[in-house]
Amino acid sequence: MTMNMHKGEPAAVRIDSGVLLADFKVAANLIIFPLNTCPGNPKSGYINREMAKFLRPYRLKLITQIRSYISRRWYSYLFYALGEIVLVVIGILIAVQINGMNEARKQKEDEIESLSEILTGLQNTWEEVILALEQEKRWRACNYAILEHLDNQRPYDPELDQCFGCYYWSPTVQLSTSAYDQLKIRGLELISNTELRNAITHMFDSQFDVLKSEIETWDSQLLSSTIYPMHTRLFRKYYPEGWQVFEDEFAKPVDYEELLQNDTYKNILSEIISLRNYGITTNTALKADLEVLIAAIEEELETLRTG
């Protein structure tokens, strides 16, 4: 920039545009920050006003360009940052969803495994109940036969020896509860079907307890305290030729004539018949409930495997 000043003439200002182009920093300073008032020069204010007027368009243009550049850069950074945030959020959501799907699949597999084990245990228990019912009926028939023979004062019949050897027996149902015990450790909530879960809990915690506490415990106490002591006094056990272990035992009355008059023994026979009747009723109901529960578990397993 050069300034020609002559005495008596207003100051003339000439800006070399090459300077602006050659030195951007200097040009920017001239445009944005016009010349300050020169000390001691009374005409410097006029020069600065003219300079400011001349440079105003360039200054405004440069400021606009700078603002536009900054604005573009700001929006670029903003869009970039938002894009990064969106990608991170989407990644987290996908990871959570995949983890949830894996957890759901693992829980479903565990539920199928637990239900399958419980189903096997219930099927085994059902077979035990069927066998118990057969034994209950057979041994009840022995008690009926002996009591009818004695009440009618019939003579001794060796055909009754098999009944004399096992009339006091009672069946023991082997309940398969290990799968249910394991389920309780893992958490009953593993069974997603609430109605089925309640049915399983009722079977194991209620009906099985009745079988153990009311029938088998009562049989055991009556046998040890009353029946067996009297039996060993009234009968002598023997094993016929060809007899094998786990078959019905045989016994002969020590004094059959005394047995005919023994009302206490007859009363015990009546008590045993009552126990066998109760056992048959309870096991018959248990058999039906087991069949319903087994069918429900089979249906639920089919749903879980195909769903």
| Domain count within the chain | 2
Q: Which pTM does this prediction carry?
A: 0.68
User: Looking at the domain assignment, is residue 221 inside a domain?
Assistant: yes
If one counts every other C-beta atom within 10 angstroms of the C-beta of residue 213, the result is: 10
Whether residue 42 sits in one domain with residue 143? no
Whether residue 126 sits in one domain with residue 185? yes
Residues 6 or more apart in contact with residue 39 via CB below 8 angstroms: none
Whether residue 199 sits in one domain with residue 117? yes
DSSP for residue 16: -
User: Looking at the domain assignment, is residue 100 inside a domain?
Assistant: no
- Confidence at residue 17, expressed as pLDDT on a 0 to 100 scale: 41
- Domain final residue, candidates 57, 88, 119: 88
- Confidence at residue 14, expressed as pLDDT on a 0 to 100 scale: 43
Dihedral pair phi/psi, residue 82, rounded to 5°: -65, -40
- Confidence at residue 36, expressed as pLDDT on a 0 to 100 scale: 47
User: Looking at the domain assignment, is residue 127 inside a domain?
Assistant: yes
* Domain encompassing residue 72: 2-88
- Confidence at residue 59, expressed as pLDDT on a 0 to 100 scale: 66
Whether residue 80 sits in one domain with residue 111? no
Whether residue 291 sits in one domain with residue 157? yes
Whether residue 8 sits in one domain with residue 132? no
* pLDDT digits (tens), the chain, 307 positions: 444 444 444 444 344 444 433 444 444 454 444 444 444 455 445 455 666 666 677 666 767 766 666 666 666 666 677 788 888 889 899 988 888 888 888 999 999 999 999 999 999 999 999 999 999 999 999 999 999 999 999 999 999 999 999 999 988 888 999 999 999 999 999 999 999 999 999 999 988 987 777 777 777 888 888 899 999 999 999 988 887 777 889 999 999 999 999 999 999 999 999 999 999 999 999 999 999 999 999 999 999 999 7
Whether residue 48 sits in one domain with residue 162? no
Question: CA-CA distances (angstroms) from residue 83 to 73, 76, 89, 254, 291?
Answer: 15, 10, 10, 100, 60
User: Looking at the domain assignment, is residue 137 inside a domain?
Assistant: yes
Whether residue 140 sits in one domain with residue 185? yes
User: Looking at the domain assignment, is residue 188 inside a domain?
Assistant: yes
- Domain final residue, candidates 41, 56, 88: 88
Whether residue 149 sits in one domain with residue 40? no
Whether residue 299 sits in one domain with residue 263? yes
Whether residue 179 sits in one domain with residue 284? yes
- Domain final residue, candidates 88, 120, 139: 88
DSSP for residue 160: G
Whether residue 151 sits in one domain with residue 285? yes
Structure-token match 């041994």, residue found: 139
The overall average pLDDT reported for the chain is: 82
- Confidence at residue 80, expressed as pLDDT on a 0 to 100 scale: 73
